[in-house]
Amino acid sequence: MSYRVVIPTAGIGSRLEKLTKHLNKSLVSISHQPILSHIIEQFPKTCEFVIALGYKGTLVKDFLGMAYPDRIFYFVNVDPYEGKGSGLSYSLLCCKKYLQQPFVFTSCDTIVKEPIPNPNHNWMGYAYSKDLSPYRTIEVSAEHVIDIQEKGEDDSKDHQAYIGLAGVHDYLNFWEGMKKGKKTAIDRGETWGLIEVLKKNKIKSYKFTWLDTGNLKALAQANKTYKKINKLNILEKENESIWFVGDRVIKFSTDSQFIQNRFQRANKLKSFVPEILDNKKNMYCYNKVQGHVLSSIITLPLFNRLLEHCQKFWKKSELKFNEKKIFKKSCQDFYYDKTIKRIQLFYKNFDKKDGTESINNQKMPTLSSLLKSIDWQHLTNGYPVRFHGDLHFENILWQSKKKKFIFIDWRQDFSGNLEVGDIYYDLAKLLHGLIVSHDSIVKNYFSIEWNHRGISFDLQRKKILIDCEKKFNKWCIENNYSFSKVRILTALIYLNIAALHHYPYSLLLYTLGKFTLAEELKNTCH
Q: What is the pLDDT along the chain (526 residues), one digit of tens a residue?
A: 789 999 999 999 888 888 899 999 999 999 899 999 999 999 999 999 999 999 999 999 999 999 999 999 999 999 999 888 788 889 999 999 999 999 999 999 999 999 999 999 999 999 988 888 888 999 999 899 999 998 766 556 678 999 999 999 999 999 999 988 766 666 678 998 999 999 999 999 999 999 999 889 888 888 888 875 555 556 667 789 999 999 999 999 999 999 999 999 999 999 999 999 999 999 999 999 999 999 999 999 999 999 999 999 999 999 999 999 999 999 999 999 999 999 999 999 999 999 999 999 999 999 999 999 999 999 999 999 999 999 999 999 999 999 999 999 999 999 999 999 999 999 999 999 999 999 999 899 999 999 988 999 999 999 999 999 999 999 999 999 999 999 999 999 999 999 999 999 999 999 999 999 999 999 876 5
DSSP string, 203-219: -EEEE--EEE-SSHHHH
CB 496 within 8 A of CB 339: yes
Cα 28–Cα 29–Cα 35 angle in degrees, nearest 5 = 70
The DSSP letter of residue 393 is G
CA 229 to CA 226: how far, in whole Å? 5
pLDDT of residue 236: 66
Task: List % helix, strand, coil for the chain (3-state, nearest 5).
Answer: 45, 20, 35
Question: If we measure between CA atoms, which residue out of 488, 455, 436 comes closest to residue 364?
Answer: 455
3-state secondary structure 352-374: CCCCCCCECCECCCCHHHHHHHC
- Whole-structure pTM value: 0.84
CB 59 within 8 A of CB 266: no
3-state secondary structure 219-271: HHHHHHHHHCCCCCCCCCECCEEEEEECCEEEEEECCHHHHHHHHHHHHHCEC
pLDDT of residue 226: 82
Rounded to a whole number of angstroms, the CA Rg of the chain reads 27
Q: Which residues of 18-45 are buried (b: 16+ CB within 10 A; e: fewer)?
A: ebbebbbbbbbbbbbbbbbbbbbebbee
Asked if the peptide bond before residue 504 counts as cis, ω within 30 degrees of 0, the response is yes
| Residue 15 C-beta-side C-alpha neighbours within 13 Å | 13
pLDDT of residue 185: 63
Neighbouring CB atoms inside 10 A of 263's CB total 16
pLDDT of residue 357: 95
The gap between the terminal CA atoms of the chain, to the nearest Å, is 76
C-alpha to C-alpha distances, 476 to 93, 241, 351, 487, 504, nearest whole angstrom? 65, 33, 38, 11, 32
The DSSP letter of residue 509 is H
CA 137 to CA 162: how far, in whole Å? 5
CA 371 to CA 386: how far, in whole Å? 28
CB 94 within 8 A of CB 78: yes
* Domains, the chain, with CATH or none: 4-227 (3.90.550.10), 289-525 (3.90.1200.10)
Q: Classify 152 as helix, strand or coil.
A: coil
pLDDT of residue 151: 79
Question: If we measure between CA atoms, which residue out of 434, 443, 426, 445 comes closest to residue 394?
Answer: 434
C-alpha to C-alpha distances, 180 to 153, 174, 247, nearest whole angstrom? 21, 10, 45
